Amino acid sequence: MKITLVQSNLEWQQAEANREILAGMLAQSVTKTDLIILPEMFTSAFSVGTGAIPEAWPGDSVDWMQSVAVNFDAAVCGSIAVEEDGQRYNRLVFISPEGNLAHYDKRHMFRMLGEHKRYQAGEERAVLSWRGWRILPLVCYDLRFPVWSRNTSDLAYDLLLYVANWPSARNYHWQTLLKARAIENLAYVAGVNRIGTDGNDIDYIGHSMLIDPAGEVLLDAEESAGTFTISIDKSALEDYRESFPAHLDADEFELK
């Protein structure tokens, strides 16, 4: 399966402008891919303060993602700030060219910027199936919590992905934790981050990455804006799991 990681600067609270920027990046450089991964809150940047205005669910950005999916014959995912039934969510949207829509609401709210005061935490993980791969999508701060990211003893997913606005000040944490999640879960890990400076004067350095189940970095986008496409190999994943079946000795647990 070919995966495209989209690493971009994001305009502060400018949904239409961000959609135009991302559409231009994809049109200029992407030809054939199976999965396009956009950053966290790709329409607004990480705007969770009193001035943030989430979209109605579903809204213009979901329609736009659907059009991108059709245009590239690929699934598209990324998170947007939404409001549904009076509650606000940092919602990761996953949509196929056929219009099949799934979503995951970010579980761990980033309290250091007050996200927990204005957004509702999600309660359930969602393992999705796409073109023969089982995918667990998570959002940014979720990366710090290994139990929530944990694969089950029967290896419920093959690809773990994180969409993020992860600040430059903690870039070392970002890279280290992505590798750890791949190693401990015997899965590929994709992490998509943004670059630039947001409306809170927080800097982002990028380093979107694709990591194999042994912890080897297959792709590092470093600090540049762009689209980065790479293939992952299901047979290589299965061979690795068979040669190093650490999951058979994993502790049993139940997520609540």
Q: Taking the mean position of all CA atoms in its chain, how far away is CA 180? A: 16
Catalytic residue annotation = 40, 106, 140
What pLDDT, on a 0 to 100 scale, did the predictor assign at position 50?
66
What pLDDT, on a 0 to 100 scale, did the predictor assign at position 165?
98
Render 35-97 in DSSP notation, one character per residue.
EEE--TTTTT-S--STT--PEESS-HHHHHHHHHHHHHTSEEEEEEEEEETTEEEEEEEEE-T
Give the C-alpha distances (Å, rounded to integers) separating 21 from 27, 42, 75. 10, 10, 19
Ordered domains of the chain (ranges, CATH): 2-249 (3.60.110.10)
DSSP at 162: E
> How far apart, in whole angstroms, are the C-alpha atoms of residue 158 and residue 126?
13
What pLDDT, on a 0 to 100 scale, did the predictor assign at position 154?
87
What pLDDT, on a 0 to 100 scale, did the predictor assign at position 52?
74
- Residue ranges for the chain with pLDDT beneath 70: 50-51, 256
Look up the pTM and report it.
Answer: 0.96
